[in-house]
Amino acid sequence: MKKTLINNTQSNLRGDITVPGDKSISHRAIMLGSIAYGVTEIDGFLMGADCLATIDCFRKMGIQIEVNNDKVLVYGDGLHGLKEPDGILDAKNSGTTARLLSGILAGQPFESTLTGDSSLKKRPMKRVTVPLSKMGAEFLFLDENEHLPYTIKGGKLMGKTHITNMSSAQVKSSLLLAGLYADCPTTVIETSQSRNHSELMLEYFGADLKVTDKCEVSIKPEPRLIGQHVIISGDISSAAYFIVAGLICEGSDILIRNVNINPTRAGTIKVVEAMNGSIALENMRTVSNEEVADIHVCYSPNLTGTTISGDIIPTLIDEIPAIAVLAACAKGKTIIADATELKVKESNRIDTVVNGLDAMGATIKSTDDGMVINGGEQLFGAKITTQKDHRIAMAFGIANLVCKGSVILDDANCVDISFPNFFEILNDLC
């Protein structure tokens, strides 16, 4: 279906919506389901291109996976049930697939070759290949930067303590998954706590895991993982676009039902509160070991700037494009710092966000580790270069609602990566 943007500068968005299943949890449910014994039944799976790439990789390793809308059945065969892949494994645009899968492949008694699309082939992989090599895996690279594609020669690994110099759930998860195949416990210590979906789901499947400190986790090797029923709640990274839309469009009142509010992901809620936004959590509950709530947002005419830095950054890293749009609509200065990781996402998101908002007339400048926005000025329509980055397309899809004129996205179809029905929901609400 063709994706269009509505030019609606007066839109008041009112309604009750749900957003697709959490992307991080969807990947992990396929991965753990594939290496657990028995059937894993997944409800609310994100049918986005990234998660479909994960399914494809495990099917190539002999795992039977049945997909029926957002319900998925994974017929796992235990930790040692994967087969030598039938062809090259293609993670496409998905860093989570590539990095987590590298950890699993490192522990397999066969060789496998992993690749990705042109964007993923430029993204840093040393952050996983270096520590996985220390555990005993062998990698064969085409370039000295250790980018994809590469071949992994796996085998029995050595358990290690890894002290990472970053906060990355992809790195932590890759090493914990490799640790399942090691000869003794594996520990990961990171600088500040990254999202903990892997830890929660590994526990849910029966792994022996010890979280000694928010930033330190150890896993014992060779657990007997058992297939589970995983109910996946909505992705807060997808909800973020509608949180921002509800706050900045006059007269809006939106209830976003069934959103994952795991504290390691929910920094956006704290930022909205700090900016004077009207946001409330309703019907809080725990589902499949994850915290879930309905999020209620209303138009907030007195939004103010804030400073976003330090330990909160990993809890909202994927929402920064949406938060930047919010900051452009808030009075005063917003500083986003300690976010150099933005440079190595699907695009360099410091550049794509700053260039896009600058083209729309915002007062914004990039810094080495983030950006500074002086908000509250009228935004104007502009042509936005998304660099095929789904989060850039959606953030500017929301900026379009409050600008004079129209935003034109050079590629709107990239939203399929994480939120295939984004424009349908947006158009319905308008």
Residues that bind ligand S3P (CB under 6 A): 24, 96, 168-170, 173, 194-195, 317-318, 341
What six digits make up the tokens of 92? Answer: 């496409």
CB atoms within 10 A of CB 165: 8
Q: What backbone phi and psi angles, to 5 degrees, belong to 300?
A: -130, 100
Q: How far from each other are the two terminal CA atoms of the chain, in whole angstroms? A: 18
SS3 329: helix
Q: In the complex, what is the shortest distance from the CB of residue 317 to ligand S3P, in angstroms, rounded to a whole number?
A: 5
- Rounded-to-integer distance, Cα 280 and Cα 295, Å: 6
Sheet with 216-219, strands from edge to edge, namely 161-163, 186-189, 216-219, 209-213
Closest distance of CB 199 from ligand S3P, Å: 11
Structure letter (DSSP) for residue 22 = P
Q: Beta-carbon neighbour count of residue 84 at 10 Å? A: 12
Contact (Cβ atoms closer than 8 angstroms) between residue 303 and residue 245: no
Angstrom distance (rounded) from CA 173 to CA 190: 12
Instruction: Kindly name the residue from 22, 90, 318, 389 that is annotated as catalytic.
Output: 318
Smallest CA-to-CA distance from 279 within 301, 297, 304 is with 297
DSSP-assigned letters across all residues of 129-153: HHHHHHTT-EEEESSTT-PSSEEEE
CB neighbours of residue 120 within 10 Å: 24
- Kind and range of the H or E element at 125? none
How does DSSP assign 251-286, residue by residue? T-EEEEEEEE--TTTTHHHHHHHHTT-EEEEEEEEE
Q: Is residue 117 flagged as an active site residue?
A: no
Nearer to ligand S3P, 90 or 319 (CB): 319
Smaller CB separation from ligand S3P, 188 or 412: 188
Closer of 316 and 384 to ligand S3P (Cβ)? 316
Q: Give the number of other Cβ atoms within 10 Å of residue 357's Cβ.
A: 26
Rounded (5°) CA angle 110-147-32: 50
Which active-site residues does the annotation give? 318
